[in-house]
Amino acid sequence: MERISSMLVAVVALACASMVPAPDVASSSSSAATNDQIVRIALAIGVPTGKSGATGAWRSYEAGDRKPFAAGSSAETWSVERAGSGVRVNRGASPTTHNGPIVIRSAEDGSFVTWNGKRYRGELLISANDSGLLVVNRVALESYLRGVVPLEIGNRKPEEHAAVEAQAVAARSYSYLHFIPTRAYDMMSTVQDQVYGGVDAEKPVSDAAVVATDGMVVMYAGKVINTPYSSTCGGSTAAVHEVWYKEPDQPYLRPVSDRIPGTDSFYCDPSPRFRWTSSFTNESLRSVLEKYLSSYTNAPKGSLGRVTGVYEEGRTESDRVRALRIQTDRGNYVLRGNDIRFVLRSVNGEILNSTHFTAEASVSGGEVSGLTLRGVGYGHGIGMCQWGAIGRARAGQDYRTILNAYYPGTTIGRVR
Name the band, by pLDDT with cuts 50, 70 and 90, for residue 110. very high
pTM of the model: 0.89
What are the pLDDT digits (tens) for 136-145?
999 999 999 9
Helices 386-394 and 161-176, packing angle to 10 deg: 140
Asked if pLDDT for residue 14 goes beyond 90, the answer is no
Least confident among 44-58, 86-100, 104-118, 294-308: 86-100
Average pLDDT over residues 239-251: 96
Asked if pLDDT for residue 148 goes beyond 70, the answer is yes
Average pLDDT over residues 275-297: 96
The closest alpha carbon to 228, from 352, 406, 378, 410, belongs to: 406
Name the band, by pLDDT with cuts 50, 70 and 90, for residue 366. very high
Looking at residue 35, its pLDDT comes to 56
Distance from the Cα of residue 319 to its chain's centroid: 24
Looking at residue 2, its pLDDT comes to 61
Name the band, by pLDDT with cuts 50, 70 and 90, for residue 17. very low
Over the Cα atoms of the chain, what is R_g?
24
Name the band, by pLDDT with cuts 50, 70 and 90, for residue 95. confident
What are the pLDDT digits (tens) for 34-44?
457 999 999 99
Apex 220 CA angle, 214 and 226, nearest 5 = 70
